[in-house]
Amino acid sequence: MESDERSNSSEREGTGRSGTTGASVGRGKEWDRVARTPAFEDLMRRKKAFLVPAVIFFLVFYMSLPVLAGFTTVLDGPAVGEMTWAYVFAFVQFPMVWILCHLYRNRANKWDGLVDKARQEASEGRTTT
């Protein structure tokens, strides 16, 4: 356990066990250069604009089933035959997740172009600061 703690701390510091700096230091500088490009900032802005509302929607939709079923009688009525609205709501959560995953995948494919653009800008030295 003690050796694990030493290796973890040395990885965070960018040094190997021998005390020399490794490739992680070079990658850190490269990462800093990429993170300061306008394309990367645009990528982060677009990701937040999609992910924050998507996560909020998912959590509200997902958590409303136990709240509505446990504390109200809203979902107690029959929807189709003997099936109540609680079962309908529960089954609708499966397609909701698939739809969110599909939307995320499509957006992520579009974000790949911004990732390539950020790499190119970083290699050309175009940064915001």
Predicted local distance difference test score (pLDDT) of residue 56: 97
Nearest partner of 51 among 91, 112, 127, 104, judged by Cα: 104
Kindly report the backbone phi and psi dihedral angles of residue 20, in degrees, each rounded to the nearest multiple of 5, phi listed first.
-90, 155
> pTM for the whole thing?
0.66
pLDDT in tens, 87-128: 999 999 999 999 999 999 999 998 988 888 888 888 887 666
Q: Looking at residue 25, what is its pLDDT?
A: 55
Sign of CA dihedral 10, 16, 18, 23: negative
Sign of CA dihedral 102, 107, 110, 111: negative
Residue indicated by tokens 């029959």: 78
